[in-house]
Amino acid sequence: MPSSPLSRRAFLGRATALGLACALPGCVPNPAGSRVRFGVITDVHQDVVADGPERLAAFLAAMRAAEVDFIAQLGDFCVPHARNRAFLEVWRSWTGPAYHVLGNHDFDGGYRPEQVRAFYGMPASYYRFAAGGADFFVLDGNEPGGKAKGYKRFIGSAQLAWLEAGLRTAQGPKVVLVHQPLDDPQGVENGAAVRALLERHGVAACLSGHLHQDYLRLLGGVAHLQLNSASYHWLGESAAARETLAPEVHRAHPSLRNVALYRDPLWAVVTIDFARAELRVEGRASTWIGPEPWARGAPAANHPPAVVRPAISDRRAALG
Binding segment (CB under 5 A) for Zn ion, from list 64-72, 83-91, 102-110, 228-236: 102-110
Residues in the chain: 320
CB of 260 to Zn ion, least distance (A): 16
Question: In this chain, which of 39, 53, 103, 191 binds Zn ion, going by CB under 5 A?
Answer: 103
Map residue 29 onto helix, strand or coil. Answer: coil
CB of 317 to Zn ion, least distance (A): 24
Residue in 103, 109, 128, 78 with CA at minimum distance from that of residue 188 = 103
CB of 141 to Zn ion, least distance (A): 9
CB-nearest residue to Zn ion: 210
Closer residue to Zn ion, CB minimum distance, 48 or 268: 48
CB of 183 to Zn ion, least distance (A): 15
CB of 116 to Zn ion, least distance (A): 13
Residue in 251, 210, 256, 269 with CA at minimum distance from that of residue 52 = 256
Q: How many CB atoms lie within 10 A of CB 175?
A: 26
* d(C-alpha 162, C-alpha 173), whole Å: 17
- Alpha carbon dihedral 57, 59, 64, 65, in 10-degree steps, equals 120
Q: Is 108 in the site for Zn ion (CB under 5 A)?
A: no
CB of 78 to Zn ion, least distance (A): 13
Contact 204, 180 (CB under 8 A): no
CB of 12 to Zn ion, least distance (A): 50
> Angle at CA 150, nearest 5°, toward 116 and 180?
60
Binding segment (CB under 5 A) for Zn ion, from list 95-103, 183-191, 236-244, 266-274: 95-103
Question: In this chain, which of 20, 62, 104, 280 binds Zn ion, going by CB under 5 A?
Answer: 104
* d(C-alpha 95, C-alpha 92), whole Å: 7
Give the contact letters, 197-236, x = binds to Zn ion (CB under 5 A), - = no.
Answer: -------------x--------------------------
Closer residue to Zn ion, CB minimum distance, 23 or 155: 155
Question: In this chain, which of 76, 106, 140, 278 binds Zn ion, going by CB under 5 A?
Answer: 76
Closer residue to Zn ion, CB minimum distance, 210 or 253: 210
| 123-132 LR contacts (CB < 8 Å, sep 24+) | 126/159, 126/162, 126/163, 128/166, 129/97, 129/99, 130/172, 131/36, 131/38, 131/69, 131/70, 131/97, 132/33, 132/35, 132/36, 132/37, 132/69, 132/272
Binding interface with Zn ion (CB under 5 A):
76, 103-104, 210
